[in-house]
Amino acid sequence: MRLFRWTTSICPTLPHCFTWSCLADLQKKISSNSTPEQLVGSLADRTPDSQAYPNVHHAQILKAELARRFDMKSVYGRVMMAGGEPVQLGNKKGVVYRKSPEQDALERWMTRQFLDVGRNMAKAWRRALQRIDFAAMLKSVMGSIGTHGENRNRWRTPKTSPIPSSITWTRNGSFRFGLDLLGVPEAADWVITDWIERRRPSLRDHLPYFVFLLTVNLFFCLVLPTRLLRNVKPSHQIHLAYLYYLPFCSVFTSKDNFHAQIVPLFLDPFQTFVNGTELKEEQKHLVEHYSALPEDERKTGLINFAKCPPDDQSFLTTRLWDKYLP
C-alpha cells in the first residue's frame, strides 16, 4: 500500500551497489536459501516507484560547484535531478527533463533487468570502488593533522566522537588537500584562483558541498582508528557514500547500524533520521488504520481515503507530514 505524495530521492549508486554485490555470481546461494537474484528482486520490489528520482552522482555535483555552475543553497532538501535541459519558447523559459543514465538504471532495476544494469553501469561503479585506496587516504588525513613524523606529539586521541560541524578549516592548503582527497586535484589551480578573486570568502559559504563531502570523509578517517564508534570498519566506506546525498533530502531512513550511528551527526535541525525498523512498524500501523475503515470508504480508492495521513500525532508519518508539508 503506497500512501501520500512524498518525493523520494534515490541514491544513484543503489542499483549498482546491490547488483554488483549480490549478482556477482548468480549460481551462489545465500543464507536465506534464496538466490542473489531473488534477494535483489525483493529489494527492487520495495524500492518506491512513484515520485522516486535518482539523484545526480555526487562527483558531478562537486565538479559543477567547483565550476560555479551549482549552488547547493538553491536545492537544499530536494532531489538534484539529472537530465535537465533549459529551453525557451518565445518569451517563456523552462527546463525539459530527458531520461538520464541514472533514471534508466533505476527503471531497469525496478523491472528486474539486473543484468542490463550490470552491463551498463555497475561495472563502472565497481571500477570506481577499486580505485579507492582507503589506506592511502587514511595515511594522508592522519599525516596532515599531525600523527606522523615531527608532528606526532601534537595528536591526542579524542575521548568522544568529533562533531562534524566542529571540524574547522584553515584556508592555506585546504583546497589542494581536499580536492586531492575527493579525486579532483586537476581543479585546484582554477578553484584557488577563483576563490582569491572573490576576496577569499568563507569556504563553508563559498563551496558548501565541497566542505560537506570533505567533512564526511575526514570524520570517517578520524573515527576509524580511534574506535569511538561501534563496529566501524574500512569496508563501511561504501555505506559512507550514502551520506553524500544528505543535502538532497529532508528525511533519511536506513536500517543499517552504521548509518544509525553516523547520519544523525550530519543532519541539520530541519532534517530527520528515521530508523528503518521504526518506519516498517509505522507502515504496518498505517495499513491497520486504513484497513479498519468502512468498505464503502475504502472502495473510493487511496487517492480519496488516504490523500493525507491520519489526524493523529501518534503516527510518525503524521508528525513528519506536519513538519515538512503543513
Is residue 175 a part of any domain in this protein? no
∠ at Cα 208 (143, 203), nearest 5°? 60
Q: What percent of the chain has pLDDT over 90?
A: 26
Determine the distance from the C-alpha atom of residue 124 to the mean position of all C-alpha atoms in its chain, rounded to a whole number: 19
Dist. CA 292–CA 288, nearest whole Å: 6
- Single residue among 131, 150, 170 that ends a domain in this structure: 131
Domain containing 27: what range?
1-56+100-131
Q: What is the pTM of this model?
A: 0.75
Range with the poorest average pLDDT among 72-86, 183-197, 289-303: 72-86
Is residue 88 a part of any domain in this protein? no
| pLDDT tens, residue by residue, 95-119 | 888 877 777 777 776 676 765 555 5
Is residue 154 a part of any domain in this protein? no
CB count within 10 Å of CB 35 equals: 16
Dist. CA 122–CA 142, nearest whole Å: 32
215 in Cβ contact with 240 (< 8 Å): no
pLDDT value at position 159? 58
Residue with grid cell 562534524, as numbered in its chain = 164
HSE-up (13 A, CA, CB side) for residue 169: 25
Is residue 209 a part of any domain in this protein? no
Dist. CA 211–CA 21, nearest whole Å: 30
| pLDDT tens, residue by residue, 140-192 | 666 665 544 444 444 455 556 555 655 555 555 667 888 888 888 899 899 99
Q: What is the mean pLDDT of the chain?
A: 76
Q: Kindly tell me if the per-residue pLDDT of 126 is higher than 70.
A: no
What is the band of 278 on the pLDDT scale with cuts at 50, 70, 90? very high
Is residue 43 a part of any domain in this protein? yes
Is residue 311 a part of any domain in this protein? yes
Is residue 321 a part of any domain in this protein? yes
Handedness of CA 66, 251, 163, 221 (dihedral sign): negative
- Single residue among 85, 112, 131 that ends a domain in this structure: 131
Question: What's the structural domain count of the chain?
Answer: 2
Handedness of CA 24, 236, 131, 244 (dihedral sign): positive
Q: Is 90 left (phi over 0), alpha (psi -120 to 50) or beta?
A: left
Q: What is the mean pLDDT of residues 232-240?
A: 75
Is residue 242 a part of any domain in this protein? no
